[in-house]
Amino acid sequence: MLKNSETPHKLSLFSGVLLCCTCMVGSGWLFSSQLVAQNAGNYGFISWIVAAAIIIVISLCISSVVTRYPQSGATTRMSAISHNAMFGMTFAFANWFGVSVVIATEAQATTEYLAPFIGDGIMQAGTLTWAGKGIGLILLCLYLLVNWYGLKLLARVNNVITVLKIFTPIFVIVILLVSHFDSTNFTQVSQDAFSTGSIFTAIVASGMVYAFNGFQVIASFASEIEKPKKNIPLTMILSVLITLGFYLLLQLAFMGAMPHEMLANGWPSLNMNSPIVGLTLILGLNFLMLLLLADSVIAPSAVGYTYLGTSSRMLLAMAKEKQAPTFISRNIHPKRGFSTPAIMVNFIIAVLFLLQAENWAGLMVIVTMLHLIGYMAAPISMSALNPKTKLFGLMVFIIITILMLTVPSRDILLTNIILSILSIGYLILQGKSHIKANLLFASPPLIFLWLIYFCESMVLGGLLATGFFLLVTSRRYVEQCRMHREKHLTAQQSTFPSEMINPQQMD
């Protein structure tokens, strides 16, 4: 009877895939095709495939950890599981903060996309006005209301919305391909501005990492999915492959449907405020406008309300690992299963970022940088828990590091400053006790990130990544981290007591 009563509260594989796809078909599909064309031209198709392959190998690292410990908010707990909370603090902050900022970014994307059709008072000189930010605040409040009714309603609402979100891109793709397809756009448009290096640099600059980031949402619901050992990795891989198909077809349709005369100066010169809607209007496909405007609300909003739930679980997990104030873990809603303080903290963060941000593009790269730092925890934790995977983990870690080196230096600097302030503030709140030990474990990730900021060579970046990875996954360092955790955290203070992770599990 207990088993039957619990079953309705578990996410199925189907719902899990839809949940991830919902997060990967948000504002990215409204802007990415133009950005990819601008940054990579014909190489953009290869960029999408390479980006998906990178995301899949990262997902294998994440799933190898969370399937062993299927806990809510597992993506922020990985380094605490394999090392300790102090070492994992930087990665946890990056992962959680990146997801929290996405909530504001999605509300902002909807407002920005609708601005030309609402009136001139919404955006001025490419920046949202206070009237536009007011619309964004209304959207954030709607995200909060959806999450307030818990996982069960979220899954039901998400399944319906995801079907609509999948239908709209497919319908638009088919119409664009049928109505106008100019193959000379791929053969006679100058590619002088691009090289094979554009394949890699476009992954970050065009928002591909941002678009695919929803693959890891299922890890935050790890304790709430059926058969987690099987369904978590399968959910990630299937959702990435399905979404890749969408983006490849959309890229083909967008570039093929573009009037050739608009490309006299090549793809880099293309610049439309609302790319997909703008293209359909140019082609005289006015009947698509209402559908696209509706989807510009539905697609980002579905990502926004899903990420609000995800980020609240992340913050709750951090509180349980003593990486966030403990009051967050003391007020769990008895029926809906979420932390009321956690969801409100993330809501407030989203509001603050929405109010201070200028536009969608300005936040996207910073969010991407935070995502990449969060991903770094996966190969590190996987290799620490299972040294047999260390070579694979090292390769994944180097790839992530090289991707970070394609981020503009000003965005790396801003991200490092944010994480350093959060980490220092957290250490101050911990008090003077054990400050030396805390600095020993908390400082290596921050030092590595600052070294990356000053690194100007991908070869040097790869060497730095190799040295850092081998240090923090060495048996001696990992055992020191665990001894520190076991000494200063009781079984009540940590979700993962020492007997759950011991040196024998590393063999």
**pLDDT confidence band for 170 (50 / 70 / 90):** confident
Q: What proportions of the chain, in percent to the nearest 5, are helix, strand and coil? A: 80, 0, 20
Q: What is the per-residue pLDDT for 164?
A: 73
Q: For residues 449-470, give the mean pLDDT.
A: 95
pLDDT of residue 329 exceeding 90 = no
Residue with the larger pLDDT of the pair 335 and 313:
313
> Which tokens is 109 given?
């994307």
241-271 tens-digit pLDDT: 999 999 999 999 999 999 998 998 899 988 8
DSSP 494: -
Q: Domain count of the chain? A: 1
List the domain range (segments joined by +) for residue 206: 2-506
Mean pLDDT of 171-184: 92
Q: In the numeric block, which tokens belong to residue 189?
A: 């448009």
Closest CA to 179 of 284, 295, 33, 292: 284
Share of the chain above pLDDT 90, in %: 35
State the Cα–Cα distance between residues 43 and 55, nearest whole angstrom: 18
Beta strands in 277-389 (DSSP E): none
Separation of alpha carbons 394 and 464, rounded Å? 12
Radius of gyration for the chain, computed over Cα atoms and rounded to the nearest angstrom = 22
- Does the structure show a pLDDT above 60 at 490? no
pLDDT score recorded for residue 151: 54
Contact yes or no for 373/419 (Cβ under 8 A): yes
- At 294-323, the pLDDT tens digits run 888 877 777 777 778 777 777 777 777 666
Collapsing DSSP to helix, strand or coil, 257 comes out as helix
Interval 66-112: pLDDT, tens: 888 877 666 777 888 898 888 988 998 898 888 888 888 888 888 88
- Taking residues 233-246, report their average pLDDT: 94
Rounded average pLDDT over 329-355: 76
Pairing of strands 127-128, 123-124: antiparallel
Can you tell me the distance from the alpha carbon of 304 to that of 382, in angstroms, rounded to the nearest whole number?
29
Rounded Cα distance between 367 and 356, Å, is: 15
Does residue 6 register a pLDDT over 80? no
> What phi-psi label fits residue 123: left (phi over 0), alpha (psi between -120 and 50 degrees) or beta?
beta
CB 177 within 8 A of CB 280: no
Q: What's residue 13's pLDDT?
A: 86
Here the CATH number for the domain that contains residue 491 is 1.20.1740.10
Q: How many of the other CB atoms lie within 10 Å of CB of 186?
A: 14
